[in-house]
Structure 1
């Protein structure tokens, strides 16, 4: 869980930098990566619940 918190902090810091620089391409990449992470976590939770 600590690794996930550190990753989230790093993503938030990177997001702030890209917003400040108005770099929309990099911002899109960050948002897509965050969405992929969220969907992966949801999928892991779903499969974990159905195995019982």
Structure 2
């Protein structure tokens, strides 16, 4: 893994921890939703991002 990718994940971890510690629930939710959307794109091949309930 390149240093750039490692640094990206470190920054994401820091942002998540800061949001959690500072009780910024909306921001934390946005981070988690974005991560889930990325997972669905990877698993689904990026065909569509339909709302899933």
Please give the TM-score of this superposition, normalised by the length of structure 1.
0.65
When the two structures are superposed, what TM-score results if normalisation uses the length of structure 2? 0.64
Greater helix content: 1
Larger RCO: Structure 1 or Structure 2 (Cα < 8 Å, ≥ 6 residues apart)?
A: 1
Greater Cα radius of gyration, structure 1 or 2: 1
Give the aligned CA root-mean-square deviation in angstroms. Answer: 1.8
* Structure 1, gaps ≥5 residues long: 45-52
* Structure 1 position 8 matched with structure 2 position 9: yes
Q: Number of matched residues?
A: 44
